[in-house]
A and B are shown apart, each in its own frame.
Chain A
């Protein structure tokens, strides 16, 4: 695996970094932290399904991204491993009054026959924040993937509401297979483009994208998933399949509605991806 090393100009506490490797060992998947810098904390994985698959809760003790903060996660999942990666809480991006950008970068390589379930909480860009988020997942043909990406419009229940009040957002969720982009869900907006999102999301304040990939997805799974996506406070949703990949869009007016729709999607896909049922992930 390629380990990313910190640069000399990275300020300790401002530029978090974690390098992970998941490998088969002791009859199960184990995750080794090759290096980490605060505010990322390493507490190990735990086996919530009581089987060979570790659940990793990424802990960023910073509590949120202050202007100019950066967090980088680099992970390599060896062939045949099974790993679930989630976060302990939403990624909160605070205001950037001096015009600097806060950045969250995730780069995960999934080996042959390996399973990645990447299920982080949402990102919340606060009013006046400037945010860059990049998530890149590289797959092998035989890799299995359930990955989610969810963005909130802001602190929608804070005071009188604070939706679509951020200054700039670059959000990229990319899945690569065979060296080519399989999907690039990218949102780049500033100025009047931010305000337009209220219309372009049909009044929703939370948007999620889910990507499912496996070499043996059963016929009609996308239809089953689409039926599961609808629900209270979900204003628009859909699922589409191209080859071995299913992509879902979910737009909701409440965070819980978006979370529940994602969970229903996971519940429909997990038996195929991991040969077991979905379960609420325990985070404390």
Chain B
């Protein structure tokens, strides 16, 4: 009887993982944590990546605010909502379950879906920056644990996967985590585009504001899509991202 009681108390590997990825919060208001995580000055380096848009701008395929908006919205709906945002939802759930194997497999899938080297490295660069920021700023045990897994070489540490882990660790809701990821994605892309095409601050913010209903739609898509249907349909952007590697003059890393 005593032995059985002792055995029952011994934590399993999953219990330990669950404990590591448990929601810790930021010690205060969750809204404040969310605002900080999605702030443009949060140190992830997202403002240096155009994901191929700079190639389009260089080729004058995107030359004005209207075209920038149309293509940004398509990217959000047909690449992010069906790809990275799905990974955010799934990693959020896997973190709460303490399912390290699922996180590692998801990270590999997120990387494999990015066909161009720069888009893939952008995802890893911003992921590692987010990892470091969450460790140093929020002191989240889950991101610390995932950092060790990345350091072991088990996975690369893609931004979307880390964002889901961070959302779970900060005790945000799943919908808030996914929706804020989508909002940050388009807000960052519009900010990058703003530096490259004639687009004023008001117009840029109008594009972000107008994306509101689309973000809600994308959030619903991302939260209901399984990992085996994650994809990006933006084939022309893939080609542009590949060509960006050899663009003679460039302001963005990707």
Contact = CB atoms under 8 A, between A and B. Distances in A.
A68 interface: no
Given A181-B109, A240-B242, A249 B230 contact: no
A223 B246 CA distance: 8
A238 B233 contact: no
Of the candidates A183, A189, A200, the one having the most CB atoms from chain B within 10 angstroms of its own CB is A200
Contacts of B235: 200-201, 204, 207, 236, 249, 251
A235 B117 CA distance: 21
Interface in B117-142: 117-118, 120
Contact of B82 (A180, A188, A237, A247): A188
A275 interface: no
A249 B233 contact: no
B115 interface: yes
A202 B61 CA distance: 10
B113 A196 contact: no
Interface string B75-93: 0011000100000000000
A187 B61 CA distance: 24
Given A197-B233, A226-B246, A238 B112 contact: no
| SS of A interface (majority) | strand
B9 interface: no
Contacts of B236: 200-202, 204, 235-236, 251
B242 A249 contact: yes
B233 A187 contact: yes
B240 interface: yes
Nearest to B230: A186
Interface residues of B, number: 31
B243 A238 contact: yes
A236 B240 contact: yes
B241 A238 contact: yes
B108 interface: yes
B190 to A, nearest CB: 19
A242 B120 CA distance: 9
A200 B233 contact: yes
Contacts of A226: 242-243, 246
A217 to B, nearest CB: 13
B229 interface: yes
Contacts of B112: 174, 180-184
A249 B239 contact: yes
Interface string B95-118: 000000000000011011101111
A170 B230 CA distance: 11
B197 to A, nearest CB: 18
B238 interface: yes
B74 A241 contact: no
B243 A187 contact: no
Contacts of B117: 240-242
Contacts of A193: 78, 233
A44 to B, nearest CB: 35
A199 B236 CA distance: 9
A49 interface: no
Interface in A231-284: 235-242, 247-251
Given A193-B233, A251-B239, 11 more contacts: A189-B233, A200-B74, A200-B78, A200-B234, A204-B236, A207-B235, A226-B242, A236-B240, A240-B115, A247-B115, A249-B235
27 contacts: A170-B229, A174-B112, A181-B108, A181-B112, A183-B115, A184-B112, A184-B113, A186-B229, A187-B231, A188-B231, A196-B74, A196-B77, A196-B78, A200-B78, A200-B234, A200-B236, A209-B115, A236-B235, A238-B241, A239-B242, A240-B245, A241-B117, A242-B117, A249-B235, A249-B239, A251-B236, A251-B239
Interface of A: 170, 174, 180-189, 193, 196-197, 199-202, 204, 207, 209, 223, 226, 235-242, 247-251
